[in-house]
Structure 1
Amino acid sequence: MKRLSLLLVLSAGVSLDSHAQFGDFLKNVAADAARQAVAGQVHKAVTGAVDSAARSVTQPGTAAAPAAPPPGCARMKGTTLAIGTRPEGYQPETLWPENTCPVYNETDLTFSKAKAAKAAFVEASKVRCKDCEGGYWPDAWGWRSLVKDSRGGNYVDQFAKMLVALKEGESLKWKGNKYDGVVTATGAHPIGAMPCRQFHYVLNEKGRQVAEYDSLLCEYTGAYASKATWHEMI
């Protein structure tokens, strides 16, 4: 029984780093203790402990089973994005993801209220024209005039770089055919581990506010990209 006690003490004191070297010794000592144990139940207990220790030595990389998804959410393969809950100081609330189920890709994040406000902003900025598709042109797109180097017409990516270069409180302005637009940097708050920037757009007509919405840009590596870039989420 003294040797059994010694075995248990040694088992408890073994560090993870020494498992590989201690494994054979542990199994030999445990087997010897088991043979000398007088109680059958003690034999079973020691054998079970040794087997468990041996498995941890020979299979150190064994991972725990993945947690079940929340009720109503489908189980999917892959690594989920660590979003967490909205911090108390994060504003506006509409720029925080609305997802209640685990998300595996940045493009799956939903912002229905914020996107509805953006759609209303674009709709309010439409100006009738004769030589444009559909007979209307949104002055909300007037920011394109600020992009000097579109690099093959990629206005969105170039404008994103201009936006993230703004300090909080700084703005970019443009004049449309009827309405004037201004976008102001309002914050630099991350979503989970993902860097994000918040902006506020305002549409004016002769100094009178016509529409507004909040915008969000986040930096991540896309599916076909080799490095992280800024993407317009809203």
Structure 2
Amino acid sequence: MSRDPLGVFDSGVGGLSVLREIRKLLPAESLIYYADSAHCPYGGKSSAQIRERACAITEQLLARGAKLIVVACNTATIAAVEHLRATYPISFVGIEPAIKPAVAQTRSGYVGVLATGAALAGEKFLRLTAQHGQNVQVITQPCPGLVEFVERGELDSPALRSLLWRYIEPLLKLRVDTLVLGCTHYPFLRPVIRELVGRHVAILDTGEAVARQTQRVLERENLLAPADAAGGFEWLSSGDAAQVAPVIARLLGA
């Protein structure tokens, strides 16, 4: 048992989609979230830049007593999680797009993936599609600009819908019936995406799966908080706190 906090970080506020699933599953855990808003988005950065930021954030979370760290960012997981595991003496839980379950449930044989360009170009993603996507068409769609809407807390607007449709329409024309949200920012856009794709397209993300994996690692290492612990939530950001605070409040419904 451990009352030490659980660390979670992302390039910005998108990883809160993962944190909210962890809170549901593990309400006794104290959580520290780090939004690297001053360096968001990670999608256009090199792997070396992302690793540098991931190490800097990890050291801040470790200084606050983090017992385990969740890398709640697909791009950072691809670029940095193995380096983090080799460098620091705690466990890290990463995230990857839901390719395997998408392949398992597609009926048309066409799976679409919305993600950042860096995530789609990463070796980890290429291995994932090679491993699970042999018998289906996995169609990738880089989505520059979507992260910035979520970072502003702009979850529905004509401009957002126009940009989303630009990315989604080609996938629908290719008979995609299963859509993977390959960036932790995108689940906050799920209501608008649902309207655009209709009811016949399944929408998948991995927030719940990451929460379950976090629970398994904590159990394995005997680090779960006592059941009677009060839990808690604290956030940090490299960006302007006055700008980040209302967005976090909106995304968490607080």
Structure possessing the higher radius of gyration over alpha carbons: 1
Pairwise TM-score range, normalised by the shorter structure: under 0.3
Q: TM-score, normalised on structure 2?
A: 0.26
Q: Which has the higher contact order (CA 8 A, sep 6+)?
A: 2
Q: TM-score, normalised on structure 1?
A: 0.28
**Higher percent of residues as helix:** 2
